[in-house]
Structures are given as structure tokens and as C-alpha cells.
């Protein structure tokens, strides 16, 4: 164990309430967590580790547990939804450490299947992703209310993510209900001493960019500057952020979209296209040093075809240089005498390529033969080699030569019976998996590592390097976490009204969203069950189907929404379709100028209109955010009875006698006969109701003439199809 890990563990163990640990990236968070797990004892209680989003982090923790202590046989298992409730209860009381998904943990907490008194604490490995509406914050809030003596320890190795937004670190600590923030940057005394004890040998290899690459880079910067000037003309964006220096950062797109998302539906097409163009230009800068010349030219040709009509940057003054220099990296025109052809001095309209035949030379212009005045031009391939590949090959060749020189020495060592290690050459790519391998090798390698960083000398990316942000000078932030808030009423300040607790029955699948968390914050009791009809049951009469914007479009496309609304109308008196927008997005489907007067099958507005016409009892509610939804639910529950959990589970599920709970349609119709009718040939969703109103039974339907059937079914073709089916002879063996 490294020394600074020991100091971190000591500080964490001193505070029984827990804390938030923020490490610099590369300081082996997985080894720190593994060391803490080795100190855990079953007598303390069960330790729950919220499963990280990265599967590699979990595997690295298990690897370090085996490495640090080979005799350790209590590797944390994972608790999933596949385990039965009584099996999960047995694991909760075993005293060991377990990985568990947030969704399973929050459901077990709400249903009292988790004995919180048996839990020693909770580990959260991705603290930078926490927010007030996240499931992890929901878990901590419930867990703290049931067991104040347990600890909550959160970890993060992404300090840059802890400074995104206003008071990110303070808000994260509030969600975790912890008071101490442990900061461990690379310049901390213990960390710097450990890193400087045996530093790796680093040699910078600076690769000069070719003249055409420099020309493309300058042209892209000019085009970006032109797009930013156009963006500054609008009064809807903070012009202080629209600088060329900020445009080089990856977060620039997020900064602009964060400002424009709330008013996105009010922007013109040109402004929206400029935002997209800036993202495209930043990609071109990145791909310039990543792709070879041929791939880069092919990507540019793809952009020209796909964005030529609506793009703004292609028509900028300097954009032609990007395409021109990219072509010159791959090919150029020369005369037959070997002199390079200058396109700027000659007005050549068609580029020609000379191909050799059996008897004579044939010129091809765009794939067709031609004999024009420029017959002396040929297309000569250049195929400029990527500079970094050339240098990389030279480094690898140098390594291979050194290996061959030491080959005799290695054979002598092996002959003496000593083990030796072949030197590993690891080439770091712009890929997460490769970077993790490099980090693992550097942190746990047996020998000193020789690292030659390879980057372009004139590349603009070096301008985007920052020294980092300091989260704060004080590592101990005191906050009143458990102080109850006083409520002011008309009777007397500081007294709380004895209101009846509101209950909301929530489908288990809805815990993937943040709405149950917000409802719990509003003081509502959440009852998680598996529902066949609806997502939220507010009362015996009100059923709610919640749809986000993306889910709404997908449900309309698949036809799932029609079936869901149909079942709600069938079993509940007040069916509600809740359309929930994101708080940081525009509160509109599309801009007013894009909404037409005609009904089009692909328009979501037209589909909603048809849905409302088809189900007159359906109520559609538009919500601006999660908190607005909670307020709407509270107002809908006013003067309503609380829902019955047992009845809500049985709704839509047939019993052994075939009776379905709350089936409103069964009171007027024979549901079995209706289902049989809908499966007959010629009967569709648009005409089966007219057939039910026109005849009382299936026997009466079988006796109707074709003319009457055509009147009920809306056409002779459907009527003839049904009549032929009813009159078909039953085949017999006689």
C-alpha cells in the first residue's frame, strides 16, 4: 500500500459519519477502495457498494483484493434482481461486502426488505455523477433517516467533474449528508513524495506537422472565427463565452447548448446550424491529427455531400482551403513532362487521369474518355504519410534493435535458470481501454517505465491544457445536515401541521427515472410494485402514464402508447398521459414556425390530436420539469382517496375465474366475445366498435347480410372477407 493511501484511510476512519474523497486521476482509486474493504470486519455489519457504471473499476477492485491479500476469500459478490427477496435478506444480514445496483437497493429500502440496522455503511464509487435527483441521493436520504449511525463514503477520481456547475462539491456533500471533504491532488505533500520517489523516465517526441496540415488547421480556425462572429450577432447567447480560445475545448458545445436549450424552439435555422457547424469544425481539428490523409479527405467529401445545402461553414471564405489542402495531401496534377501543374494559374475545369491501354494512352475525365486541350495532365498520387506514424515506426524499430542486442544476454540468463521479463512495448491510443492498461502498468509495473509522449508541435490542442481547478482551500466544510426545517403556518410559527401522508403507487420500472426521488422529497410515501396498467396510481380513480419526450416519440412509432392508453381507459375513470420535459430543455416540441396547418402522419402534434379524439376521457398533462410534476401530482391527489396497493396490483391481471379487476368494459360487454370478434378477418381497430353497436351477439353477426356488414364495417371489401370466412365449409373426413 502506498503511503498517501494510508493517510486517506486514517482520515476516513476518524470520522464515523463518512466523507467525500476526491483524488486526482491516476492515483489508483480501485486500490484505495480495496484496502478499505480488507479492513472491513463482518462484526461491524454488512457493507454495500453501489455498483459503478464502469465494469472495469469493479474488476480492478477484485483484482487488487487478491493481490494485496492472497488469503482473502471474501470477494464481494453482486446482488441483482435475479435473487429472491429472502435470499437478498440473508445476504443483507451476513456481514460481508456486496456490490448492489441502485435500483434494487432503493426498492428494498422502500419496501422494508433491507434491515438497515445490520448495515455498517455504503460505498459510492462515482460521486461526481451525483445530483439532487439521482437514485444514489435518494438511497442516502432514506438510509440516513433509518440508520444515522452508519457511514457513507463516496469516492471520485475526476476532479474536473466536481467543479462543473455552481458549488458542485458542496451540493454533492449535501446529497451524501457528509461534512468532510478529503482533497488529494498530485501536488499534495504525501502524493508528490510518493510520485517523485521513483519517477518514470519521460522523453518528449515532438512531431512537426506538414505544411498542408498547418494550412488546414489555420483554415479551420478562420472558419470557426467566422462562425463565432455570426453567433455573436444573436442576442440569445452570452458573448463572453464565444471566443476562439473557448471553441477549442471539448466542453464548448455543452456551454453553448446549455445556454440555448431553454430557448431552442425560438431560434432560427441559421443559429441552430451554426451550433452544429462549430461542433463539426472541432471534430475536423481533432481528426486532422488522428486520421491519415486519405481517410481525412474521404471524411471531408462525406461532409460536402451531406451538409452542402444547409451548412454555413462550407460557404465561408476560407473553407475552400480545407478541401484544397486535403486533396494536395493525397494527389496533385502534373504534366507529362513532370512539371507540377499550378491550378491557380490555369483554369482547368476537369481533373484528368491518364490510364495506359494496350496500344495507346486514354485520358479519363470523371470516369469517361475525353480528348480536350489539357490532354497533357495526369493525376499523380502523393499519399502523405501521417507524421506521427513515421516517428512511431522509428521508435518501435529502435526498440526492436535494442531487443536484438540484448538477445544474447537474455539467453545466458535463461541458461542459468533465472527468470527474466521480456520488455513490454505499449502504444497508448485515444481509447479508454488502452489508457486503463497503460495506467495499470505504470502503477503496478515491476520496473521503471520509459514513456515517450508523442504529440504534434504546432497542434492547437496544447493551448487547451489547463493547470486544473482547486476545489477549495478548506477540506472540512461544516453544514447543518440534520437540522429540521421549521414550517410557518397561520396558527403559529415553527409548528408543523399534522397532514395526512400522501401515497403514490409506483411501477418498479419507473425507478430508472428520477421522479420517484422528487416525489419522496415532496413528502409523499412511495410504494413500489409491479403494475400491469399505468406507471403511477394516484388514487382509485386516477392512473398516470408518464412519457419523456424521447419515449413519447418511440411509443408513437411502435404503437405501444395506443395500447397503454386503451388499457388505462378500460380500467380507470380518469386516465392521464403525462408528457414530461427536461428542465434544461425548451418547453416545446418544435418552434411555432415549423407547425403546419395540415394533419401529417409523421407529426407528433397530429398524432396527439388523433389520440385525444379517439379517447375523449384521456387527460393530457404537460410538465416542465420533475419538480413541476410533483406539484401536479399533489394537486391531483387533493380531495382524492389514497390508492389501494392490493387492488392496483390486480388491475389488468385475470384471476383464476377469468375476472379482471376494475374492468369497466366488462360491465357493458362480454370481453371474451369482444376479443374473439377482433380476431375475425376483416375486423380492424377502426370498425369493431361499430360492429358491436350494430349487433348484440356473435350469433346475430353471423346472420347479417353482406349489405348490412358493409354498412357497419365501412366497406364492401371488409364485409366480403368476413362473410366468406363465416360461410366457409368445415372440412370433414367423410
Listing DSSP states for 409-432 in one string gives HHHHHHHTT----PPP-----SSH
Residue at which a domain ends, from 297, 330, 363: 330
Residue 347 has pLDDT above 50, yes or no: no
220 and 137 in one domain? no
Check if the beta carbon of residue 154 is closer than 8 Å to that of residue 178: yes
Count of residues making up the chain: 734
Residue 367 pLDDT grade (very low, low, confident, very high; cuts 50, 70, 90): very low
Domain at 26, CATH number: 3.40.50.300
Return the residue matching grid coordinates 521479463.
421
Residue 46 has pLDDT above 50, yes or no: yes
Q: What is the pLDDT of residues 556-607, one digit of tens each?
A: 888 889 889 988 988 899 999 999 888 767 677 665 555 656 666 677 888 8
The cell numbers describing 705, all together, are 347480410
Residue 337 pLDDT grade (very low, low, confident, very high; cuts 50, 70, 90): low
Residue 734 DSSP SS3: coil
Within-domain flag for 301: yes
Distance of alpha carbon 139 from its chain centroid, rounded?
21
116 and 76 in one domain? yes
Domain at 579, CATH number: 3.40.50.10130
Task: Give residue 44's domain range.
Answer: 3-197
The cell numbers describing 150, all together, are 452508519
Q: What mean pLDDT is predicted for residues 687-697?
A: 83
642 and 695 in one domain? no
Of all residues in the chain, what percent carry a pLDDT higher than 90? Answer: 10
Greater confidence, 170 or 371? 170
Check if the beta carbon of residue 200 is closer than 8 Å to that of residue 448: yes
Q: How far is CA 261 from CA 179, 248, 257, 276, 584, in A?
A: 34, 21, 6, 13, 6
pLDDT at 202: 74
Greater confidence, 468 or 341? 341
Question: The whole model's pTM is what?
Answer: 0.65
Mean pLDDT, rounded, of the chain: 77
Contacts of residue 94, defined as CB under 8 A and 6 or more positions apart, other chains included, come to: 42, 46
Residue 490 DSSP SS3: coil
Domain at 721, CATH number: 1.10.150.20
pLDDT at 449: 57
Distance of alpha carbon 404 from its chain centroid, rounded?
48
DSSP letters of 347-376?
A: ---S-EEEEE-SSSEEEEETTEE---TTTT
645 and 692 in one domain? no
222 and 315 in one domain? yes
Phi/psi at 427 (nearest 5 deg)?
-95, 115
Greater confidence, 427 or 478? 427
Q: End-to-end distance of the chain based on CA atoms, in angstroms? A: 89
Return the residue matching grid coordinates 413519447.
552
Q: Which of 29, 200, 210, 243 is nearest to 125 (CA)?
A: 29
Contacts of residue 324, defined as CB under 8 A and 6 or more positions apart, other chains included, come to: none
Distance of alpha carbon 65 from its chain centroid, rounded?
30
Q: Which of 485, 518, 519 is nearest to 505 (CA)?
A: 519
132 and 24 in one domain? yes
Residue 657 has pLDDT above 60, yes or no: no
Residue 334 has pLDDT above 60, yes or no: yes
pLDDT at 669: 57
Domain at 312, CATH number: 1.20.1320
Within-domain flag for 481: no
Q: Which helix (H) or strand (E) holds 152?
A: strand 151-156
Residue 357 pLDDT grade (very low, low, confident, very high; cuts 50, 70, 90): very low
618 and 693 in one domain? no
Phi/psi at 365 (nearest 5 deg)?
-120, 110
Residue 690 has pLDDT above 90, yes or no: no
Residue 519 pLDDT grade (very low, low, confident, very high; cuts 50, 70, 90): very high
Separation between Cα atoms, residue 3 and residue 381, nearest integer Å: 58
684 and 606 in one domain? no
Within-domain flag for 406: no
691 and 639 in one domain? no
Query: Starting from the edge strand earliest in sequence, which strands make up the sheet with 536-537, in order?
Result: 525-529, 503-507, 536-537, 542-548, 574-580, 619-623
pLDDT at 513: 87
Check if the beta carbon of residue 684 is closer than 8 Å to that of residue 592: no
Query: Helix %, strand %, coil % for the chain, to 5?
Result: 45, 15, 40
Residue at which a domain ends, from 166, 197, 228: 197
Residue 283 DSSP SS3: helix
Within-domain flag for 251: yes
Residue 109 has pLDDT above 80, yes or no: yes
Separation between Cα atoms, residue 467 and residue 464, nearest integer Å: 10
**How many structural domains are present in the chain?**
4
305 and 237 in one domain? yes
Within-domain flag for 421: no
674 and 633 in one domain? no
Partnered with residue 379 across adjacent β-strands are 333
Three-state SS string over 181-227 comes to EEEECCCCHHHHHHHHHCCCEECCEEECCCHHHHHHHHHHHHHHHHH
Within-domain flag for 463: no
pLDDT at 383: 76
Q: How far is CA 448 from CA 199, 201, 313, 419, in A?
A: 8, 8, 48, 18
Residue at which a domain ends, from 163, 197, 231: 197
Kindly provide the b/e burial profile for residues 246-261, where b requires at least 16 CB atoms within 10 angstroms of the residue's own CB: ebbeeebeebbeeebe
Q: Which of 581, 577, 506, 518 is nearest to 546 (CA)?
A: 577
Q: What is the pLDDT of residues 537-558, one digit of tens each?
A: 999 999 999 998 888 888 888 8
176 and 268 in one domain? no
Check if the beta carbon of residue 180 is closer than 8 Å to that of residue 20: yes
Q: What is the pLDDT of residues 406-416, one digit of tens each?
A: 766 656 555 55
Within-domain flag for 492: no
pLDDT at 401: 79
Within-domain flag for 673: yes
Contacts of residue 342, defined as CB under 8 A and 6 or more positions apart, other chains included, come to: none
Amino acid at each position: 500500500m502506498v503511503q498517501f493511501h494510508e493517510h486517506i484511510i486514517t482520515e476516513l476512519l476518524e470520522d464515523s459519519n463518512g466523507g467525500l474523497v476526491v483524488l486526482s486521476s491516476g492515483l489508483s482509486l480501485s486500490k484505495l477502495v480495496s484496502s478499505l474493504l480488507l479492513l472491513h470486519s463482518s462484526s461491524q455489519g454488512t457493507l454495500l457498494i453501489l455498483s459503478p457504471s464502469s465494469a472495469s473499476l469493479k474488476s480492478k477492485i477484485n483484482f487488487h483484493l487478491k493481490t494485496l491479500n492472497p488469503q482473502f476469500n471474501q470477494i464481494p459478490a453482486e446482488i441483482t434482481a435475479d435473487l429472491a427477496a429472502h435470499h437478498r435478506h440473508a445476504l443483507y444480514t451476513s456481514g460481508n461486502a456486496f456490490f448492489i445496483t441502485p435500483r434494487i437497493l432503493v426498492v428494498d429500502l422502500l419496501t422494508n426488505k433491507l434491515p438497515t440496522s445490520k448495515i455498517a455503511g455504503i460505498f459510492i464509487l462515482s460521486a461526481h455523477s451525483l445530483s439532487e435527483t439521482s437514485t444514489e441521493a435518494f438511497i442516502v436520504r432514506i438510509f440516513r433517516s433509518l440508520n444515522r449511525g452508519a457511514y457513507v463514503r463516496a469516492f471520485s477520481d475526476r476532479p474536473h467533474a466536481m467543479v462543473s456547475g455552481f458549488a458542485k462539491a458542496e451540493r454533492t456533500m449535501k446529497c451524501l449528508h457528509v461534512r468532510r471533504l478529503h482533497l488529494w491532488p498530485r501536488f499534495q505533500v504525501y502524493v508528490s513524495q510518493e510520485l517523485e520517489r521513483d519517477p518514470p523516465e519521460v522523453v518528449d517526441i515532438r512531431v512537426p506537422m506538414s505544411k498542408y496540415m498547418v494550412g488546414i488547421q489555420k483554415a479551420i480556425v478562420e472558419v470557426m472565427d467566422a462562425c463565432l462572429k455570426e453567433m455573436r450577432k444573436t442576442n440569445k447567447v452570452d458573448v463572453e463565452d464565444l471566443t476562439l480560445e473557448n471553441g477549442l475545448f471539448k466542453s464548448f458545445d455543452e456551454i453553448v447548448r446549455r445556454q440555448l436549450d431553454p430557448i431552442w424552439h425560438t431560434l432560427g435555422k441559421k443559429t441552430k446550424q451554426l451550433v452544429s457547424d462549430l461542433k463539426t469544425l472541432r471534430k475536423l481539428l481533432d481528426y486532422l491529427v488522428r486520421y491519415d490523409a486519405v481517410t481525412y479527405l474521404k471524411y471531408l467529401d462525406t461532409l460536402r455531400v451531406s451538409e452542402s445545402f444547409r451548412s454555413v461553414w462550407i460557404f465561408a471564405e476560407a473553407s475552400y482551403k480545407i478541401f484544397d489542402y486535403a486533396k494536395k495531401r493525397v494527389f496533385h496534377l502534373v504534366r507529362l513532362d513532370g512539371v507540377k501543374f499550378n491550378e491557380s494559374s490555369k483554369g482547368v475545369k476537369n481533373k484528368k487521369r491518364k490510364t495506359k491501354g494496350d496500344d495507346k494512352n486514354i485520358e479519363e475525365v470523371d470516369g469517361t474518355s475525353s480528348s480536350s486541350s489539357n490532354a497533357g495532365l495526369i493525376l499523380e498520387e502523393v499519399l502523405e504519410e501521417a507524421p506521427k506514424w513515421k516517428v512511431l515506426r522509428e521508435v518501435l524499430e529502435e526498440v526492436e534493435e535494442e531487443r536484438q542486442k540484448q538477445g544474447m544476454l537474455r539467453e545466458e540468463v535463461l541458461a542459468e535458470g533465472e527468470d527474466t521479463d521480456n520488455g513490454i512495448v505499449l502504444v497508448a491510443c485515444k481509447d479508454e481501454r488502452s489508457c486503463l492498461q497503460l495506467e495499470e502498468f505504470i502503477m503496478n509495473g515491476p520496473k521503471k517505465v520509459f514513456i515517450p509522449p508523442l504529440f504534434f508541435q504546432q497542434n492547437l490542442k496544447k493551448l487547451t491544457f489547463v493547470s486544473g481547478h482547486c476545489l477549495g482551500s478548506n477540506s472540512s466544510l461544516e453544514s447543518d445536515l440534520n437540522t429540521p426545517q421549521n414550517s410557518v403556518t397561520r396558527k403559529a410559527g415553527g409548528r408543523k401541521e399534522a397532514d395526512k401522508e400522501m401515497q403514490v403507487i409506483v411501477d418498479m420500472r419507473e425507478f430508472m427515472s428520477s421522479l420517484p426521488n422528487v416525489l419522496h422529497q415532496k413528502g409523499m410515501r412511495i410504494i413500489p410494485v409491479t403494475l400491469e396498467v399505468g406507471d403511477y396510481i394516484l388514487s382509485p380513480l386516477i392512473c398516470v402514464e408518464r412519457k419523456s419526450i424521447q419515449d413519447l416519440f418511440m411509443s408513437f412509432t411502435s404503437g405501444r402508447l395506443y395500447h397503454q392508453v386503451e388499457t388505462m381507459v378500460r380500467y380507470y375513470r380518469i386516465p392521464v398521459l403525462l408528457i414530461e420535459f427536461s428542465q434544461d430543455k425548451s418547453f416545446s416540441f418544435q418552434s411555432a414556425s415549423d407547425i403546419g396547418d395540415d394533419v401529417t402522419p409523421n407529426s407528433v402534434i397530429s398524432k396527439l390530436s388523433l389520440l385525444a379524439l379517439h379517447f375523449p376521457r384521456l387527460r393530457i398533462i404537460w410538465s416542465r420539469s420533475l419538480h413541476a410534476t410533483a406539484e401536479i401530482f399533489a394537486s391531483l391527489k387533493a380531495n382524492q382517496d389514497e390508492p389501494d396497493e392490493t387492488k392496483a396490483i390486480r388491475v389488468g391481471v385475470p384471476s383464476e375465474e377469468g375476472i379482471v379487476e376494475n374492468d369497466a368494459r366488462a360491465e357493458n360487454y362480454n370481453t371474451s366475445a369482444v376479443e374473439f370478434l377482433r380476431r375475425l378477418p376483416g375486423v380492424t381497430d377502426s370498425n369493431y366498435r361499430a360492429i358491436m353497436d350494430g349487433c348484440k351477439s356473435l350469433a346475430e353477426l353471423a346472420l347479417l347480410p353482406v349489405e348490412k356488414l358493409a354498412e357497419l364495417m365501412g366497406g364492401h371489401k371488409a364485409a366480403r372477407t368476413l362473410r366468406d370466412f363465416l360461410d366457409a365449409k368445415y372440412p370433414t373426413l367423410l
